[in-house]
Amino acid sequence: MSATALAEEANSVPTSVDLRAEYEASGVGEVLAELDRDLIGLAPVKKRIRETAALLLVERARRSMGLAHETPTLHMSFTGNPGTGKTTVALRMADLLHRLGYIRKGHLVSVTRDDLVGQYIGHTAPKTKEVLKRAMGGVLFIDEAYYLYRPENERDYGQEAIEILLQVMENQRDDLVVILAGYAARMERFFESNPGFRSRIAHHIDFPDYDDPELLQIGVKMLEKQNYRLDEEAEAAMRDYISRRRQQPHFANARSIRNALDRARLRQANRLFETASGPLDADELSTIRAEDIRASRVFDAAAAGS
């Protein structure tokens, strides 16, 4: 390269960066605002996402000034119980990484073991590679990732998928971000058994369970999106339902609340159909009443145990 070209290249490198202006121009603030708007609670998760966004913004600024040359490791681990917003946050993270220029497309491909592991010899590699092909340029979200590893089964093909994933996570980390998700204790055992994953994961984010008031807020918001509402007595019944349901097995946070409200809407529709003797207005068609909530078996179980 000639001396003139070298001088021109040196002059094109910025000597300072306005991080606030970069933040506004990138649209990162918009993504974080969506996260706050879409998800109730999860304060520690939102804090970690904001911190990660700040780190990546600074890294991008450093790269523009010639201070950094390698893409930072972006693979992540999301741990927590079901229904705590891990998939939603993964979607927002994909958007954020795309806006900052760390991935080309910004799409999310969500998979489980069944999408990656075959059932016979020669089946796993093409399945895994096809998933990776779809995910390139974006984020691959592997839910309940620990099911990839089943050491008790000598004929299991999960190890083959793991080896392919590890190779791609290392060699193509400029074009793919992998997020592993699942229960915290099981993920810890998975990392102990597969240290290659631990060494490639830079960001570990734990998702706490929602408390009762947050679950009620989530339920109200779910209904609002479908133009339904709880009347005053139904809201009290829902508060009671949440308190009882979370003490029972297989509680899945927001997922369980969504299922409960789907059943409440079913009961409301049957109640209206069976009792209505004339035209119904929009308010009646959109109101969930206490009886629609308290017909749940959650209350029968509580009564039986008392």
Return the pLDDT at 25: 85
Predicted confidence band of residue 306 (pLDDT cuts 50, 70, 90): very low
Q: 3-state class of 300 per DSSP?
A: helix
Q: Does residue 48 contact residue 56 with C-beta atoms inside 8 Å?
A: no
Cα–Cα distance for residue pair 238/30, rounded to 1 Å = 33
Residue 202 CB neighbour total at 10 angstroms:
15
Q: Does residue 160 contact residue 125 with C-beta atoms inside 8 Å?
A: yes
Return the pLDDT at 12: 67
Mean pLDDT of the chain: 90
Share of the chain above pLDDT 90, in %: 73
* Model confidence pLDDT, tens digit, residues 82-122: 999 999 999 999 999 999 999 999 999 999 999 999 888 88
* Model confidence pLDDT, tens digit, residues 208-263: 999 999 999 999 999 999 999 999 999 999 999 999 999 999 999 999 999 999 99
Closest of 198, 207, 197 to residue 158, by C-alpha = 197
Burial of 134 (0-12, 13-18, 19+ CB in 10 A): middle
Q: What is the largest CA-CA distance in the chain?
A: 90
* Model confidence pLDDT, tens digit, residues 28-80: 899 999 999 889 999 999 999 999 999 988 888 888 888 876 778 899 999 99
Predicted confidence band of residue 11 (pLDDT cuts 50, 70, 90): low
Residue 199 CB neighbour total at 10 angstroms:
14
Q: What strands, in cross-sheet order, belong to the sheet with 177-182?
A: 108-111, 139-143, 177-182, 76-80, 203-207
Q: Bigger pLDDT: 155 or 169?
A: 169
Domains in the chain, CATH or no CATH each: 14-207 (3.40.50.300), 212-305 (1.10.8.60)
Return the pLDDT at 5: 47
Predicted confidence band of residue 128 (pLDDT cuts 50, 70, 90): very high
Return the pLDDT at 6: 43
Query: Would you say the C-alpha torsion 161, 167, 168, 173 has a positive or negative sign?
Result: positive
Q: Does residue 217 contact residue 239 with C-beta atoms inside 8 Å?
A: no
Q: Does residue 14 contact residue 65 with C-beta atoms inside 8 Å?
A: yes
Distances (CA, A) of 82 to 34, 184, 219, 290: 21, 11, 16, 27
Cα–Cα distance for residue pair 201/253, rounded to 1 Å = 26
Cα–Cα distance for residue pair 93/32, rounded to 1 Å = 9
Distances (CA, A) of 263 to 67, 72, 109, 257, 291: 56, 46, 29, 10, 12
